[in-house]
Amino acid sequence: MRSRFYVTSGGGAHWAGPCRERGGARTRRGRGAAAARSAQARLSRSRRAERLTIYGQSWGASRARGAALPGSARPQRLRAGQGASRPLRPGLGPPPPPLSAPCTPGAVFRPLSPGSASARSDSRRARPLQALWRARRGNKWARMPYEIKKVFASLPQVERGVSKIVGGDPKGNNFLYTNGKCVILRNIDNPAIADIYTEHAHQVVVAKYAPSGFYIASGDVSGKLRIWDTTQKEHLLKYEYQPFAGKIKDIAWTEDSKRIAVVGEGREKFGAVFLWDSGSSVGEITGHNKVINSVDIKQSRPYRLVTGSDDNCAAFFEGPPFKFKFTISDHGRFVNCVRFSPDGNRFATASADGQIFIYDGKTGEKVCALGGSKAHDGGIYAISWSPDSTHLLSASGDKTSKIWDVNVNSVVNTFTMGSNVLDQQLGCLWQKDHLLSISLSGYINYLDKNNPSKPLRVIKGHSKSIQCLTVHKNGGKSYIYSGSHDGHINYWDSETGENDSFAGKGHTNQVSRMTVDEHGQLVSCSMDDTVRYTNLTLRDYSGQGVVKLDVQPKCLAVGPGGYTVVVCIGQEVTLPPQGPAGCVAQIVLLKDQRKCFSIDNPGYEPEVVAVHPGGETVAVGGADGNVRLYSILGTTLKDEGKLLEAKGPVTDLAFSHDGAFLAVCDASKVVTVFSVADGYSENNVFYGHHAKIVCLAWSPDNEHFASGGMDMMVYVWTLSDPETRVKIQDAHRLHHVSSLAWLDEHTLVTTSHDASVKEWTIAY
């Protein structure tokens, strides 16, 4: 008895059940052979009809010419247990003519005609036709592809008092760091060019290029080490290891890219060194009794390895196989960083005691202490050698970075980064002519050797999850405004990626929602119980445009005439025996930055709000799955008594720009569109998301809108045809999409809890 798998011409595989031979005849258990053949024949006819329509050719004519229809209808038999890991692509014959716009994997195409066999077979299953399958309407190739246009990456995730490791590309073109579960790779000349690796299941701590430049090793808090490819956009995984159970804090490669040393917070051991392609041990990391913070390997033979630990010591190893040689006990505090010079002649150790020691790279003998008894007035968290091995860059908690001439033991430059605690320097990198330092704020500073008082440039952005965004045109340019979990608001030039933050002191807690009003002011609400109005020409906070609310605001919307509507929800503290805490809700109307009216405890939990472009109607979505309509009458809100039913708790809603439609998304994975002119009757319902939808936004053309959900997907829907849609799968991999906005009818902006902002080109 043998198990058999059958593959249909459409690429799907099913288990046909065990087969048994009896006297030359075969019988199949489970579904009968006749039923299987009948089902296969029906599927083949459907697929044949679809291909005939797509290619515009006659089956009879093809037979007359002796040509076979692309893709055989005969089932292909696989070996037992083999199965199909992915749909098989039938032969397509000659490819269709190229498109003017690029077609990317994941594109979804319009069904040829509603109700046709081909439309049913393709649209219901959303069968991917890959990048080159196109449906022909006459001489026009109908398509709805998408393409990633720009990635505005997050800043490094930093922690006070902890070194932040920044890795460099051996060719000198890129640098990399970590944030959350992501590894961010950025072009060092143009940081707006970025790529994000998102395959770790846990927070990533460190990532390092192999000296060959073809692979990157990254380690996370669970002790997983992933080695992945850098030459392909998909960053395919090469190997994965678990050298120990605990946080990986640093990684080092040998110069031939064949051996890896890993150190950190293991339970039974604090380090390991092994072959990159097999995981076989090539030595032991011993000599420490506390967490090892840093490791490095001499990049020339004979190999040497050095480590730095929380036990205030550094350890010196010879190999391979690497064996402990002796302990270096010159420091009085934690050893935060150890690094060999590129030529291997020396190595340096930096400590929380503010000292930097230089040692001979081959013997481990001490050469000198930079700056005498103190190199910095605070703890030193990172050091990086110049390419010629003559100078050293150091980063310290005293808010300075310094360049040292190691040969003469003197300071060449001192870069004072500021006086705020966020100006502490936690990481640094010297790559070619670029000198980078990482501040506690997460900012990346490009240091200027010719002008130590001011950096060449400062890369800003977000290091915490982004909650909301909006777009606005100012001075002929389109800008993206984003607000994050820590209260930070950043603005981006949508073309160049240049970005900055507002001057002054702004929100002190999570920014929940923002939009731009008719006066060109950014209106934002935060969990600090305030609504702020910020001038987008000056881009600075002032004490004038702040409205303090009684209850925490959750969402807001603006309308013409200086109106702002805010929905607020909080907790009412009730002590026993009265009962548990209750919900306090408010709908607040502001006019000209002043509170003029509020509806207290409306009887439901308001979640989101939208104002009609005409300014006369307010729609409020509730956790009870209903949308309630209110009228703005001067300085009051009047309940119109009309309920619109969604399919579940309302998570977002928005009017189209022309005011003709209201789109409502909910926690039941459905988007419902209501027609305003028809008395808010249901116009259409859109299905497709696999998890809760959290945001939506209308395109300026009023024909399309986008939705984003906790399934990491973004859909771009066509109002008149729910089957015509773009599906952007894994728009922000491993992070749900938190907000959407349109720059124009073909450019969509998305953001997520990965703290990055992405621009997508959508073609209809």
CA–CA distance, 544 with 524 (Å, rounded to integer): 14
What is the token pair recorded at 191? 């940081």
> Which residue, among 697, 750, 699, 698, has the nearest Cα to 728 in the 3D structure?
750
Q: CB-based contacts of 86: which residues, under 8 Å, 6+ apart?
A: none
Q: What is the DSSP letter of 423?
A: G
Instruction: Reply yes or no on whether the pLDDT at 227 is more than 60.
Output: yes
DSSP letters along 37-52, please?
HHHHHHHHHHHHHHHH
pLDDT at site 135: 38
Could you give phi then psi for residue 627, rounded to 5 degrees? Answer: -110, 125
Mean pLDDT, rounded, for 213-227: 98
pLDDT class for 224, splitting at 50, 70, 90? very high
- State residue 651 phi and psi, 5-degree precision: -110, -25
Mean pLDDT value across residues 645-665: 98
Is the pLDDT reported for residue 4 higher than 60? no
Rounded (to 5) percent helix, strand, coil in the chain:
5, 50, 45
**Terminal alpha carbon distance of the chain:** 52
Give domain 464-548's CATH architecture. Beta Barrel (2.40)
118 pLDDT more than 80: no
In contact, 764 and 144? CB cutoff 8 Å: yes
Q: Which string of b and e fits 529-562 if b means at least 16 CB within 10 Å?
A: bbbbbbbbeebebeeebbbebebbbbbbbbbeee
Closest-CA residue to 314 (of 343, 337, 280): 337
The contacts of residue 60 (CB under 8 Å, 6+ apart) are none
Locus of tokens 């994965």: 240
pLDDT at residue 137 greater than cutoff 50: no
Parts of the chain belonging to CATH 2.130.10.10: 233-459
Backbone angles phi, psi at 55, to 5 degrees: -90, -10
Segments of 332-379 assigned E as strands: 335-340, 346-351, 356-360, 366-370
Tell me which residue of 615, 422, 591 sits closest to 501, measured CA to CA: 422
Give 466's pLDDT tier (boundaries 50, 70, 90).
very high
pLDDT surpassing 60 at residue 86: no
What one-character-per-residue DSSP string does 650-672 give? Answer: EEEEEE-TTSSEEEEEETTSEEE
Cα Rg, the chain, nearest whole Å: 31
Q: Which residue has the higher pLDDT, 33 or 657?
A: 657
pLDDT tens for each residue of 259-308: 999 999 998 999 999 999 999 999 999 999 999 999 999 999 999 999 99
Whether the upstream peptide bond of residue 96 has omega within 30° of 0, thus cis, is no
**Tokens (6 digits) for 656:** 């189209």
Residue 127 — pLDDT band, cuts 50, 70, 90? very low
Predicted TM-score (pTM) of this structure:
0.80
Q: What is the pLDDT of residues 138-163, one digit of tens each?
A: 333 344 589 999 999 999 999 999 99
Average pLDDT, the chain: 85
Can you read off the two tokens belonging to residue 313? 């010591």
Distant-in-sequence, close-in-space partners of 80: CB < 8 Å, separation ≥ 6: 2, 3, 4, 5
Cβ atoms of 306 and 314 within 8 Å: the answer is yes
The pLDDT assigned to 114 comes to 36
Q: Can you give the pLDDT at residue 570?
A: 84
Strand ranges (E), 578-616: 582-591, 594-600, 606-611
Is pLDDT above 70 for 77? no
Q: pLDDT, tens digit, for every residue of 336-369?
A: 999 999 999 999 999 999 999 999 999 999 999 9
Question: Under DSSP, is residue 433 helix (H, G, I), strand (E, B) or coil?
Answer: coil
Minimum mean pLDDT among 52-56, 314-318, 320-324, 635-639: which range?
52-56
pLDDT band at residue 476 using 50, 70 and 90 as cut-offs: confident
DSSP 3-state assignment of 64?
helix
The first and second tokens of residue 107, run together, are 């594109």
pLDDT score recorded for residue 475: 82
The rounded distance, in Å, linking the Cα atoms of 565 and 632 is 10
- pLDDT tens digits for 566-610? 999 986 544 445 444 556 899 999 999 999 999 999 999 999 999
Average pLDDT of the segment spanning 540-564: 93
- What residue spans in the chain does CATH classification 2.40.10.500 cover? 464-548
β-strands 670-675, 617-622: how paired? Answer: unpaired
Q: Note the pLDDT tens digit of each residue in 686-721.
A: 999 999 999 999 999 999 999 999 999 999 999 999
For residue 532, give Cα distances in angstroms to 52, 65, 546.
Answer: 60, 73, 5
Assigned CATH topology for domain 233-459? Methylamine Dehydrogenase; Chain H (2.130.10)
